[in-house]
A and B are shown apart, each in its own frame.
Chain A
Amino acid sequence: MKSEEISRRLAELEQKVTLMFKSIDCTKVVGDVLMECPETILSKVTSSGLSGRGGAGFPTGIKWKGAAEAEGGMKYVICNADEGEPGTFKDRQILHVQPDKVISGMIICAHAIGAREGYIYLRGEYNFLLKKLISRCEYWNDYLKKKGFDFTLFVRSGSGAYVCGEETALIESMEGKRGEPRNKPPLPVTSGYKGCPTVINNVETLAYTVMIMSEGPEYFRSIGTKDSMGGKVFSISGDSPRKGVYELPLGMTLHEFVDIFGDGDTKAVQVGGSSGTCVPRKHFADTIIGFEGVPTGGSMIIFNSSRSMYHVLRNYLEFFQEESCGQCTPCRVGCQQLLKGLEAIKTGKRPHSYLDKLRSLAITMSVSSKCSLGQSLVNPFNSITGHFREEVCY
């Protein structure tokens, strides 16, 4: 494809969804929303079809409704800005460019569920954003005070553990404890921060709620597909001439995606970061980016033919063996065994058949780990070793 053609297609795609980076008057939106009753907000969010943009895709309306209905004198809204998935950097961009939308989303949520405090849990490595966020929070705190709305915003800085992006580990971390996921149930919507009902949403999810309020849920629903409504902000990296952050509709095929973002020599795309699925070229045409196909928190890493999938996988496993919180057996030991085993196969210390044992270990990890970290490792491991067995073994 010629570059003009690519630019035209990209422009077309971007035209379809222009929510996130569109400038709007957040003060006005928030002012209007605070006049509405919580039920109206909840029904708007629910009918928009918005689902969690961190990757898990839990319906936002249901989450908010759960917290709204939960009993508790104190309720909290937490913005999960602990963006740690390798290959993901869209929240950083959103917070950088649209902090007011994120904060407004928190205020909308607070009004909907009856929360009196909100926290932005900012990834430790993003501390360059700290000053800006604190000053924006101060601005909004003043604004809310004048409005007579009892909600205060705070910023908390993470300390660098990947697992703290997992919502219950994030809560533990906020409470000053080791960042380890909790046993579920109870879910945070009934018992979260300090044991109180808590909504934890991704940066992008919160920002989208503002757009839903300003543009209407019907508009949001009209973008994307039946199963994956709305737009999505993608972080595109790897062997791409167009690396960066893009807002695109959900539901396109990987084929369409690679045509625009690939370098013409794309071998595979890692959808959803290191804990996502690796899709090889032969499946590009029939793979939809969205909850009906490969879900993603926004990370798209493109590999061309010069990349060794063995090294890609080993790199992921090295990351996970360090970033597992270490409390549950399948994840703590499993991650190490997948890495050690992979290396042993490559160096001939274990037979190729050992790979099958590791693949079944990955499945065991997916059903027996405590949280989604250990549960999702099967995605990269079994997709890469399944599609690129030769590269991994020889």
Chain B
Amino acid sequence: MKTVSLRINDIPVTINEGATILDAAKKLGIRIPTLCHHDDLCVSGNCRVCVVEQKGAKVLRASCVVPAAEGMQIYTNNQKVREARRAILELLLSEHKSECTSCLKSGLCELQALAQEYLSDGNAYINIADQTPPDISSPAIIKDDSKCIRCLRCVRTCKELQGVSALWSINKGNRTKVATFMETPLHYVVCATCGQCVNRCPTGALTERTYIEDVWRAIDDPEKYVVVQTAPSVRVGLGETLGIEPGEVVTGKMVAALKRLGFDSVLDTDFTADLTIMEEGTELLTRLASVLKEKKEVPIPMVTSCSPGWIKFIEHEFPSLLRNLSTCKSPQQMFGAIVKTYYAQKKGIDPSKIISVSIMPCTAKKFEADRPEMKSSGFKDVDYVLTTRELGHMIRQAGINFERLDEEGYDSLMGESTGAAVIFGATGGVMEAALRTAYEIVTGREVPFKNLNVEPVRGMDGIKAASVKLEGVKTEWAFLEGVELKVAIVHGLINARKVMEQVEGGGSPYHFIEIMACPGGCIGGGGQPIPTNLEIRKKRTEAIYRADEALPTRKSHENPEIQELYKDFLGKPLGHRSHELLHTHYIKREIEFHAKGQTNKIR
């Protein structure tokens, strides 16, 4: 590869051709401030905070877009550059409503940090922040245009990573803003509520809808019995919100902190992840039996349904394929339904007094908990969903010194889980867990991978395909003898669209597809700590697999509490009670928008 040599602040550097000035500076350990730039996204060069001086050039250059060239002499921190940067930051502050003390993003806000770094005057110019009230239509995401600095990270995220384009920039000049189609409230457009935009928004313009106060109130209410469940990937993310480096598993400390916050019972979503495998694995085998043995018309491939962002997306975009979705609820909702029935019964608690809280890496889970179908226990199955970030916030509010906490274990009944459940947090995890169980059910042998690690389904490729040949099957599964079970693992909705278009066209070779809305799966979820990038997501993933290997039981069907649940309460997978509590249906979603005083519907 050809290289170029240049000087930055008089220090020579050589870098591959095609790299930007910003890359070259990074190589030298010189940090140039950026706002619109994000490692996961294409360059846009529109905030101009990263301007640098190039000797001989009339104007300053945006270092994030200008390629490093032979012989360049760059200055990243002279007076001309500093003055321009401060002015640009002050301009951004003038179109930004600074509510730093009450803003959920305070401390994570990149504008705030840079403005402080450059000691910028928030009142240097006349405030021209957008005056429209925040869009609170979505139960998951709040969009506050008064804080938007038009960096368009959200727009690029939604387009490039998710292929959804719920957000776009509209108008021009002083009326430029980020908006949905026809400025329809977020809830009513094709927005998966995945929250990837929230993760990348450098300010508080996009945040999750917070339920912190509601949860505090429930905890403080002596009448209420507050149970909390923690999703698999929260234990590998939470540390980051509390000053710990990415990639650390903090399960024990997290449980301890939750107990200190005052939750009456700290339980694990991993328990229902195992339950999901039992139900979904059985559903898959049943569908395969219908197709291969009974030659019935049953939709294959079966597609996972754990990711509520993905569910909302398919409901909007591929309503004809809803029958391909597994009818299983997500682990969160299975948990909610079981907690207010089985758990309440076992513990002798009035389910109407139970407040069920979940800690999720996800913003879409807030939307999911609010779905009208999710009341099979007779109550709202999950009352409040908090993101990993919100939990971090509560721990800080409570004055808990997280790092000094002693590790504690989950409470019993619905606190037990396996390694198969932990890996739900990473892309490929559900598939791997399903294979560990399904293969064993069918053949009576462990899945044929070293140390149970199904490597082909792991990794960060957007679409992964793998196959497992079923040989020496048990007699009741004879129809599967010699069948090559073909699976695909997809993360990021832009990839989901590709795979579903293939299914729609009838050319999909797969039996089973795992789809997660977010890049990297739940470890990269919209409710996970900020910042995010590929490197951080890889570290969280590695932590997930470490947590798996550290557990004594690594197959869902071997979870003793799950076995007990079936024995005492559910009967068998896909049984009557399961059907009532653990399975759901999906709806075709129309888009409503309002134009010229009329309500219009698309599709």
Task: Collect the chain A residues with CB atoms within 8 Å of residue B83's CB.
Answer: 360, 364
B84 in the interface (beta carbon within 8 A): yes
B152 in the interface (beta carbon within 8 A): yes
Asked whether, in the complex, the Cβ of A375 is within 8 Å of the Cβ of B173, the reply is: no
Asked whether, in the complex, the Cβ of B173 is within 8 Å of the Cβ of A333, the reply is: no
A367–B125 Cα distance when bound, in Å, is: 19
A330 in the interface (beta carbon within 8 A): yes
Q: Which of A326, A337, A341, A360 interacts with B173 by CB under 8 Å?
A: A326
Asked whether, in the complex, the Cβ of A328 is within 8 Å of the Cβ of B48, the reply is: yes
- Per-position contact with B for A174-187: 1 when CB-CB < 8 Å, else 0? 00001100010100
Asked whether, in the complex, the Cβ of A332 is within 8 Å of the Cβ of B174, the reply is: yes
- Smallest Cβ-Cβ distance to B151: which chain A residue: A329
Task: Collect the chain A residues with CB atoms within 8 Å of residue B126's CB.
Answer: 337, 340-341, 344, 350
A321–B175 Cα distance when bound, in Å, is: 9
A88 in the interface (beta carbon within 8 A): no
Asked whether, in the complex, the Cβ of A178 is within 8 Å of the Cβ of B94, the reply is: no
Asked whether, in the complex, the Cβ of A357 is within 8 Å of the Cβ of B124, the reply is: yes
Asked whether, in the complex, the Cβ of B91 is within 8 Å of the Cβ of A324, the reply is: no
Q: Shortest distance in angstroms between B498's beta carbon and chain A's nearest beta carbon?
A: 22
- Smallest Cβ-Cβ distance to A339: which chain B residue: B174
**With known contacts A328-B47, A330-B91, A368–B60 Cβ distance under 8 A:** yes
Q: Which of A163, A183, A326 interacts with B171 by CB under 8 Å?
A: A326
Q: Shortest distance in angstroms between A142's beta carbon and chain B's nearest beta carbon?
A: 39
| Of listed B88, B92, B149, B172, residue having the most chain A CB within 10 A | B172
Asked whether, in the complex, the Cβ of A337 is within 8 Å of the Cβ of B62, the reply is: no
A337–B94 Cα distance when bound, in Å, is: 9
**With known contacts A183-B43, A183-B45, A367-B84, A329–B169 Cβ distance under 8 A:** no
- Smallest Cβ-Cβ distance to B58: which chain A residue: A367
A322 in the interface (beta carbon within 8 A): yes
Asked whether, in the complex, the Cβ of B95 is within 8 Å of the Cβ of A333, the reply is: yes
- Per-position contact with B for A315-331: 1 when CB-CB < 8 Å, else 0? 00000111111111110
B124-163 residues with Cβ-Cβ distance < 8 A to A are 124-126, 128, 149-150, 152
Q: Which of B59, B65, B67, B176 interacts with A326 by CB under 8 Å?
A: B176
Q: Shortest distance in angstroms between A153's beta carbon and chain B's nearest beta carbon?
A: 29
A178–B176 Cα distance when bound, in Å, is: 12
A350–B45 Cα distance when bound, in Å, is: 32
A357-378 residues with Cβ-Cβ distance < 8 A to B are 357, 360-361, 364, 366-370, 375
Task: Collect the chain B residues with CB atoms within 8 Å of residue A375's CB.
Answer: 59
Asked whether, in the complex, the Cβ of A161 is within 8 Å of the Cβ of B172, the reply is: yes
**With known contacts A322-B172, A322-B173, A368–B128 Cβ distance under 8 A:** no
Task: Collect the chain B residues with CB atoms within 8 Å of residue A369's CB.
Answer: 48, 59
Asked whether, in the complex, the Cβ of A327 is within 8 Å of the Cβ of B176, the reply is: yes
Q: Which of A179, A329, A336 interacts with B48 by CB under 8 Å?
A: A329
Task: Collect the chain A residues with CB atoms within 8 Å of residue B59's CB.
Answer: 366-369, 375
Asked whether, in the complex, the Cβ of A336 is within 8 Å of the Cβ of B172, the reply is: no
A335 in the interface (beta carbon within 8 A): yes
- Smallest Cβ-Cβ distance to A319: which chain B residue: B173
Asked whether, in the complex, the Cβ of A367 is within 8 Å of the Cβ of B174, the reply is: no
Q: Shortest distance in angstroms between B4's beta carbon and chain A's nearest beta carbon?
A: 13
Task: Collect the chain A residues with CB atoms within 8 Å of residue B60's CB.
Answer: 367-368
A334 in the interface (beta carbon within 8 A): yes
B72 in the interface (beta carbon within 8 A): no
Task: Collect the chain A residues with CB atoms within 8 Å of residue B88's CB.
Answer: 329-330, 364, 368
A18–B44 Cα distance when bound, in Å, is: 46
Asked whether, in the complex, the Cβ of B87 is within 8 Å of the Cβ of A326, the reply is: no
**With known contacts A367-B80, A367-B84, A368-B60, A335–B174 Cβ distance under 8 A:** yes
B154-204 residues with Cβ-Cβ distance < 8 A to A are 169, 171-176
B46 in the interface (beta carbon within 8 A): yes
Q: Which of B45, B58, B125, B176 interacts with A332 by CB under 8 Å?
A: B176
Task: Collect the chain A residues with CB atoms within 8 Å of residue B171's CB.
Answer: 326
Asked whether, in the complex, the Cβ of B46 is within 8 Å of the Cβ of A329, the reply is: yes
Q: Shortest distance in angstroms between A348's beta carbon and chain B's nearest beta carbon?
A: 14
B interface, over-half SS? loop
**With known contacts A332-B173, A337-B94, A364–B45 Cβ distance under 8 A:** no
- Smallest Cβ-Cβ distance to B176: which chain A residue: A326
| Of listed A179, A337, A344, residue having the most chain B CB within 10 A | A337
B66 in the interface (beta carbon within 8 A): yes
**With known contacts A161-B172, A326-B175, A368-B84, A333–B92 Cβ distance under 8 A:** yes
Asked whether, in the complex, the Cβ of B80 is within 8 Å of the Cβ of A328, the reply is: no
B51 in the interface (beta carbon within 8 A): yes
- Smallest Cβ-Cβ distance to B149: which chain A residue: A329
Q: Shortest distance in angstroms between B232's beta carbon and chain A's nearest beta carbon?
A: 40
Task: Collect the chain A residues with CB atoms within 8 Å of residue B65's CB.
Answer: 183
Asked whether, in the complex, the Cβ of A323 is within 8 Å of the Cβ of B173, the reply is: yes
| Of listed A320, A327, A375, residue having the most chain B CB within 10 A | A327
Q: Which of A324, A350, A364, A370 interacts with B87 by CB under 8 Å?
A: A364
A366–B87 Cα distance when bound, in Å, is: 12
Task: Collect the chain A residues with CB atoms within 8 Å of residue B44's CB.
Answer: 183, 327
- Smallest Cβ-Cβ distance to A369: which chain B residue: B48
Asked whether, in the complex, the Cβ of B91 is within 8 Å of the Cβ of A326, the reply is: no
Task: Collect the chain A residues with CB atoms within 8 Å of residue B124's CB.
Answer: 357
A183–B124 Cα distance when bound, in Å, is: 29
Task: Collect the chain B residues with CB atoms within 8 Å of residue A320's CB.
Answer: 173
Asked whether, in the complex, the Cβ of B45 is within 8 Å of the Cβ of A333, the reply is: no
Task: Collect the chain B residues with CB atoms within 8 Å of residue A334's CB.
Answer: 91
Q: Shortest distance in angstroms between A95's beta carbon and chain B's nearest beta carbon?
A: 25
A323–B174 Cα distance when bound, in Å, is: 8
Task: Collect the chain A residues with CB atoms within 8 Å of residue B169's CB.
Answer: 178, 326-327
Asked whether, in the complex, the Cβ of A336 is within 8 Å of the Cβ of B174, the reply is: yes
Q: Shortest distance in angstroms between A377's beta carbon and chain B's nearest beta carbon?
A: 12
Task: Collect the chain B residues with CB atoms within 8 Å of residue A364's CB.
Answer: 83-84, 87-88
- Smallest Cβ-Cβ distance to B95: which chain A residue: A333
**With known contacts A185-B66, A327-B150, A368–B51 Cβ distance under 8 A:** yes
Asked whether, in the complex, the Cβ of A183 is within 8 Å of the Cβ of B125, the reply is: no
A370–B88 Cα distance when bound, in Å, is: 13
Q: Shortest distance in angstroms between A119's beta carbon and chain B's nearest beta carbon?
A: 22
- Smallest Cβ-Cβ distance to A366: which chain B residue: B59
A337–B129 Cα distance when bound, in Å, is: 12
Task: Collect the chain A residues with CB atoms within 8 Å of residue B67's CB.
Answer: 185
A337–B174 Cα distance when bound, in Å, is: 10
Q: Shortest distance in angstroms between A347's beta carbon and chain B's nearest beta carbon?
A: 12
Q: Shortest distance in angstroms between B172's beta carbon and chain A's nearest beta carbon?
A: 5
Asked whether, in the complex, the Cβ of B174 is within 8 Å of the Cβ of A324, the reply is: yes
A137-173 residues with Cβ-Cβ distance < 8 A to B are 161, 163
Task: Collect the chain A residues with CB atoms within 8 Å of residue B150's CB.
Answer: 326-327, 329, 332
Interface contacts beyond A350-B126, A368-B84, A369-B48: sample of 17 additional A-B pairs, CB < 8 Å, sorted by A: A178-B169, A183-B43, A322-B174, A323-B172, A325-B172, A326-B173, A327-B169, A329-B46, A329-B88, A332-B173, A336-B128, A340-B125, A344-B126, A364-B83, A367-B59, A368-B60, A368-B87
Interface residues of B (CB under 8 A from A): 43-49, 51, 58-60, 62, 65-67, 80, 83-84, 87-88, 91-92, 94-95, 124-126, 128, 149-150, 152, 169, 171-176
29 contacts between A and B (CB under 8 A): A161-B172, A183-B44, A183-B62, A183-B65, A322-B174, A323-B172, A323-B173, A324-B174, A324-B176, A325-B173, A325-B176, A326-B169, A326-B171, A326-B176, A328-B45, A329-B91, A330-B91, A332-B176, A333-B125, A336-B128, A336-B174, A337-B94, A337-B126, A337-B128, A366-B59, A367-B51, A367-B59, A368-B51, A369-B48
The 3 A-B residue pairs with the shortest CB-CB distance in the complex, in nearest-first order: A326-B176, A333-B91, A183-B65
